[in-house]
């Protein structure tokens, strides 16, 4: 019985030490248009730079702000898309032991130029 209690106690101490050493990382930023107005509901994708794979997704709030918490150390970039705006990729950045918090400069989206194909207007006479 003592062996079981001792084993459980040791495992509990190890788990607490591992949990206490987990770094609290944060990536945050905002999305605005070329007039510096917030772009609400933009899709922000956190991508791994090694293989451009998707790691996590967030949606910009009414103020255009977004954040990702508890991200493992590594190299990343942000991909932003929104209706009526051109997609945009941020520069690469690293999260590591010396850089646990990354505040991304405001991401400025450019409106996508939309052109209509030929429009024909006809009139019906009664």
Number of CB atoms found within 10 A of residue 65's CB: 16
State residue 85 phi and psi, 5-degree precision.
-130, 150
Per-residue confidence (pLDDT) for residue 31, from 0 to 100: 98
State residue 93 phi and psi, 5-degree precision.
-145, 160
Is 111 a residue whose pLDDT tops 80?
yes
Is 113 a residue whose pLDDT tops 60?
yes
Per-residue confidence (pLDDT) for residue 15, from 0 to 100: 52
* Domain span at 75: 24-109
85 in a structural domain: yes
Q: How far is CA 123 from CA 116, 117, 118, 119, in A?
A: 20, 20, 17, 13
Is 84 a residue whose pLDDT tops 90?
yes
**pLDDT band per the 50, 70, 90 thresholds, residue 27:** very high
Per-residue confidence (pLDDT) for residue 63, from 0 to 100: 98
67 in a structural domain: yes
Per-residue confidence (pLDDT) for residue 10, from 0 to 100: 64
- The number of folded domains in the chain is 1
6 in a structural domain: no
82 in a structural domain: yes
Number of CB atoms found within 10 A of residue 84's CB: 10
Is 45 a residue whose pLDDT tops 90?
yes
Is 11 a residue whose pLDDT tops 60?
no
Supply the pTM of this predicted model: 0.73
């Amino acid at each position: 019985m003592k062996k079981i209690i001792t084993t459980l106690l040791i495992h509990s101490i190890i788990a607490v030490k591992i949990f206490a050493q987990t770094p609290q990382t944060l990536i945050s930023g905002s999305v605005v248009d070329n007039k510096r107005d917030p772009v609400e509901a933009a899709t922000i994708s956190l991508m791994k730079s090694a293989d451009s794979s998707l790691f996590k997704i967030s949606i910009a709030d009414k103020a255009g702000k977004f954040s990702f918490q508890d991200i493992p150390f590594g190299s990343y970039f942000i991909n932003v898309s929104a209706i009526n705006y051109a997609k945009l990729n941020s520069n690469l950045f690293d999260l590591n032991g010396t850089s646990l918090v990354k505040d991304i400069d405001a991401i400025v989206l450019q409106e996508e130029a939309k052109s209509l194909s030929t429009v024909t207007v006809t009139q019906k006479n009664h």
